[in-house]
Structure 1
Amino acid sequence: MSKPNVLVIGSGGVGAISALSLSHNGGSTVTLVVRSDYDLINEKGFSINSCTYGKLTNWKPHNLARSVSEAREKYGPFDYILLTTKNVPDGPTTCEEIVAPAVTEQNEVIILLQNGIDIEKPMIAKFPGHLVLSGVSHIGSTYYHGHVENKGIDAVFLGDFNPKPACQHRASSASAAAKIEEFISIYHNPGFNRIQVDANVQKTRWEKLMYNSVFNVMTALVDLDVNSMQINGANDDLIRPAMAEIMAIARSVGVECDQGIVEKFVHIGDGLFYSPSMCVDMRKKQLMELEVILGNPIRIAREHSVPTPILGVLYPLLKMVQFRIKQEKKMFVIDQRDFQGSSDDYPRIFEEKYRH
């Protein structure tokens, strides 16, 4: 029996360690898409300093590809497509567009190892005949110019985004469970990583969101690390109240987050003076995962009439920061002649003329 064929899209800190975990297990054939640094990785491989896998030099998975299309042509079709890229639906390319070249009629399983809420909906709409699974990653791993620094054990929670009875589901419950178990079997390396079935993965997503939508968003907005915000009284003034808002939004859709998560996250970085990924992206003038981390929760809150006095202010402010980054990247060039009327009409004009 042939081994499952796995495509990993995204070669950053999470994607590289995911490809390493799959390769180390030996139960699958692994192809990794490396875009901007393909020549570097193809020639020299990754250098990896991992808290569990140790120090590796010149490491590569079974196959490398410059693009998803090349991966499909040379090494496909795939049984599993693992997407680890940033999810920026307001950017130049959506996740559905990134994945599309690898999707055939073979009923590939698509796993979104990404941040955010409601990220599965556009993927399921685009590929309704495929099983789309949720992967929540808890890992400390960063990538820069061929080097991966992995300081936290790779822990993955894997489940179905929206499990339903077999008669209602795009794939039977038994089939989904079998696919989840198979992927766990080819990913898990005892003593090196942790991956487990999560029957309530939406709750896990909301609880991780309590950190991302608060610490990521606030640090990116004010350009300060977490502890520097806390020095200025942010715990009581902003952080705890904002997390309470996320819990209330989750509750409005039937998800009850554990209250203890608040204090866990408030103190998880004590003494580290750590800058979360969204803050780092802002400093590097890269697009941030704003819409899936905060935009979608705010839209849910509005739909269910949940008050968001803090997050509802942070979201439009950070949208302006994202707007500035897009302008600097020349994603659009404003023609001031388009905006001569009432400023109340400006958002509509922008959507009609500049949103692609």
Structure 2
Amino acid sequence: MASSNNPAKPVHILFVGAGAVGCFYASRLHHPSQNVYASLIARSNYKAIIAAGGKVELQTHSFGNYTFAPYAVFPNIDAAVPSASSSSSGPEAAVGGEKSAGTGTPPSEGWDYIIVTTKALPDRTDDAAMVAPLVSEKSCLVLIQNGVGVEAPYRARFPRNPIVSAVTVISAEQIRNGVVRQNRWTRISLGPYGHGLGAPPGVGDQAGEEPVARLGDERMRALARWWTALGGIRDVETHSELELQTIRWHKLCINAAFNPTAVLSGGRGNADQLTDPELREHVLGIMHEIRDAAPLVLGKPLPDTLASPEKIVKSTERNTGGRPSMLLDWEAGRPMEIEVILGNPVRIARAKGVQMPRLQSLYACLRSMQRMREEREEREKGKGKL
């Protein structure tokens, strides 16, 4: 007999993005003996995972070292699209998937959960459109992405599918393709996403049908149970929609302060920024601007339990050597998460009549830096063709 932690029917969970975060959280969900199967869409590390027999090596602070053999590993979206010719989604298929060196086949009944862990770059890609071929009526979308406003494009494209929004606090890195190291923390906060906090009650819901927010809450709680009872993660938190959005805005105090400053200061890490008195004042100013704006945007004061800017700074001082992801992207010539970390909060606040001049300045400067570099690279490519 199935328990609440052991579903009667196979549950298939697809992670779109097989970086450090995706691989770690997928590995804590994959329990074939309990009817829960996790699969990966890998891009740059696909060949390395397949070469390792369809397995990912994990070196973790919280659970020791182990290997994770997903139900299936796919090189792209198209390969993961279920079809009538897909194999059975039962335990036999899971074993078959592992025997085929991780290539596997999509479950014929479709994906129960589609968990997106890729960088949110709405100025470059339409991620909601990208995952659309994977989504069926039964699919729940889970967004483990930075910033605010990331859910809106998914809700617009999938008005009837449950959506779960997620915020992580984890220190993890892919030290080489197919090898993930988790250094500290495992906390993940989950909350259903209905139609946005500004939408009137009932928007998008049809008579006689269960509201998507309620469906999202149910799917969120099931996911949290599996991560906790099966995966052993102790700090999986479930929240209401407003609570989760509050957590997103609070995390901006870290991401929107340290990430852009690391790039604009010439490459200084988070703790290093705080050794400079002017940069320290700058970082605290950004955090306070966000903390002052958030209650006006959300319509509710921030809870006292959320760390103040001063506490965040004090904690950050101890984490020496950390280099934020935006800086790593800039140095590698990759697009930065400018829109969801800076542009979206500025626009969302502005729509509520709230100005965020510090964030707007960071947004304008970084967007210009990125555009100028890309235009320069295009000119250099053009010269090379002459």
Give the shorter-chain TM-score range.
0.7 to 0.9
Residue equivalent to 1:8: 15
1:280 is paired with a residue of what secondary structure?
helix
Residue equivalent to 1:267: 314
Once the 2 structures are TM-superposed, how far is the Cα of residue 236 of structure 1 from its aligned partner? Answer: 4.7
Label 1:190 to 1:10 Cα distance change in 2 as closer, same or farther (>3 A): closer
Residue equivalent to 1:157: 189
Larger deviation: 221-230 or 129-138?
A: 221-230
Larger deviation: 36-45 or 167-176?
A: 167-176
**1:171-250 matched pairs, under 5 angstroms:** 171-172=210-211, 173-188=213-228, 189=230, 191-199=232-240, 200-222=243-265, 223-234=267-278, 236-250=280-294
* Identical columns (%): 27
Find the aligned partners of 1:190 and 1:68 in 2 and give their Cα distance.
26
Question: Unaligned regions of 5+ residues in structure 1, if any?
Answer: 335-356
Residue equivalent to 1:303: 351
Partner amino acid, structure 2, of 1:95: D
Partner amino acid, structure 2, of 1:274: G
Partner amino acid, structure 1, of 2:337: E
TM-score, normalization: structure 1? 0.85
Find the aligned partners of 2:119 and 2:64 in 1 and give their Cα distance.
26
Find the aligned partners of 2:13 and 2:31 in 1 and give their Cα distance.
13
Residue equivalent to 1:94: 126
**1:55-204 matched pairs, under 5 angstroms:** 55-57=65-67, 59-73=68-82, 74-76=105-107, 77-91=110-124, 93-104=125-136, 106-143=137-174, 144-162=176-194, 167-168=202-203, 170=205, 171-172=210-211, 173-188=213-228, 189=230, 191-199=232-240, 200-204=243-247
Once the 2 structures are TM-superposed, how far is the Cα of residue 166 of structure 1 from its aligned partner? Answer: 7.8
CA deviation profile, 1:161-217 (whole Å, cap 9, x unmatched): 347898446443543322111111222246544212112111111111111111111
Find the aligned partners of 1:295 and 1:276 in 2 and give their Cα distance.
18
Contact 1:11 1:32 (8 Å CA) reproduced:
yes
Larger deviation: 14-23 or 94-103?
A: 94-103
Contact 1:249 1:300 (8 Å CA) reproduced:
no
Label 1:66 to 1:325 Cα distance change in 2 as closer, same or farther (>3 A): farther
TM-score, normalization: structure 2? 0.79
Label 1:107 to 1:165 Cα distance change in 2 as closer, same or farther (>3 A): farther
Label 1:122 to 1:329 Cα distance change in 2 as closer, same or farther (>3 A): farther
Find the aligned partners of 2:194 and 2:290 in 1 and give their Cα distance.
20
Partner amino acid, structure 1, of 2:112: D
2:21 is paired with a residue of what secondary structure?
helix
Find the aligned partners of 1:329 and 1:50 in 2 and give their Cα distance.
39
Once the 2 structures are TM-superposed, how far is the Cα of residue 241 of structure 1 from its aligned partner? Answer: 1.1
Larger deviation: 143-152 or 204-213?
A: 143-152
Residue equivalent to 1:289: 337
Cα-Cα RMSD: 2.6
Larger deviation: 323-332 or 29-38?
A: 323-332
Partner amino acid, structure 2, of 1:19: A
CA deviation profile, 1:31-89 (whole Å, cap 9, x unmatched): 111112211111113222101121124x3212111112211233131011100000001
Aligned counterpart in structure 2 of residue 54 of structure 1, from 52, 55, 64: 64
1:269 is paired with a residue of what secondary structure?
helix
Larger deviation: 291-300 or 233-242?
A: 233-242
Contact 1:207 1:261 (8 Å CA) reproduced:
no
Question: Unaligned regions of 5+ residues in structure 2, if any?
Answer: 1-7, 83-104
CA deviation profile, 1:7-42 (whole Å, cap 9, x unmatched): 111111110101101115844111111112211111
Once the 2 structures are TM-superposed, how far is the Cα of residue 248 of structure 1 from its aligned partner? Answer: 2.5
Contact 2:10 2:37 (8 Å CA) reproduced:
yes
Once the 2 structures are TM-superposed, how far is the Cα of residue 327 of structure 1 from its aligned partner? Answer: 3.9
Moved >6 Å (runs of 4+)? 163-166, 331-334
Once the 2 structures are TM-superposed, how far is the Cα of residue 324 of structure 1 from its aligned partner? Answer: 3.9
2:357 is paired with a residue of what secondary structure?
coil
1:140 is paired with a residue of what secondary structure?
strand
Larger deviation: 165-174 or 119-128?
A: 165-174
Label 1:298 to 1:5 Cα distance change in 2 as closer, same or farther (>3 A): same
Find the aligned partners of 2:356 and 2:233 in 1 and give their Cα distance.
40
> Is 1:256 aligned with 2:301?
yes
2:333 is paired with a residue of what secondary structure?
coil
Label 1:40 to 1:329 Cα distance change in 2 as closer, same or farther (>3 A): farther
Residue equivalent to 2:88: none
Label 1:231 to 1:174 Cα distance change in 2 as closer, same or farther (>3 A): closer
Find the aligned partners of 1:146 and 1:89 in 2 and give their Cα distance.
27
Contact 1:158 1:198 (8 Å CA) reproduced:
yes
> Is 1:17 aligned with 2:61?
no
Label 1:145 to 1:196 Cα distance change in 2 as closer, same or farther (>3 A): same
Contact 2:12 2:37 (8 Å CA) reproduced:
yes
Find the aligned partners of 2:163 and 2:273 in 1 and give their Cα distance.
37
